[in-house]
């Protein structure tokens, strides 16, 4: 399983999506990489905003009581 080389402070990077600002179509980075150029598959617009998906589930942090 390929990990993204981008690491933020050792935290596993969350999936990044790109959203077309013209039609609002969301595409994943993986899908974008397969495209010959950066453009919206739906409308052909070339301007995207980067969207980070908020974590759906945050595992509880184990803290040991002193």
| CA gap 34, 38 in Å, rounded | 10
Site for Zn ion in 21-40 (CB under 5 A): 22-23, 25, 40
Q: Does 18 bind Zn ion (CB under 5 A)?
A: no
Cβ atoms of 44 and 27 within 8 Å: the answer is no
Q: How far is the CB of 33 from Zn ion (least distance, A)?
A: 18
Q: How far is the CB of 40 from Zn ion (least distance, A)?
A: 3
Dihedral class, residue 12 (left if φ above 0, else alpha if ψ from -120 to 50, else beta): beta
Choose the binding region for Zn ion from 5-13, 15-23, 27-35, 57-65 (rule: CB under 5 A).
15-23
DSSP assigned state of 18: E
* Binding-site ranges for Zn ion (CB under 5 A): 20, 22-23, 25, 40, 42-43, 45
């Amino acid at each position: 399983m390929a990990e993204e080389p981008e690491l933020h402070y050792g935290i596993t990077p969350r999936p990044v999506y790109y959203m077309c600002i013209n039609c609002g179509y969301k595409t994943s980075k993986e899908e974008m990489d397969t495209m010959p150029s950066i453009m919206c598959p739906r409308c052909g617009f070339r301007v995207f905003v980067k969207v980070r998906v908020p974590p759906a589930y945050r595992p509880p942090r184990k803290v040991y009581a002193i």
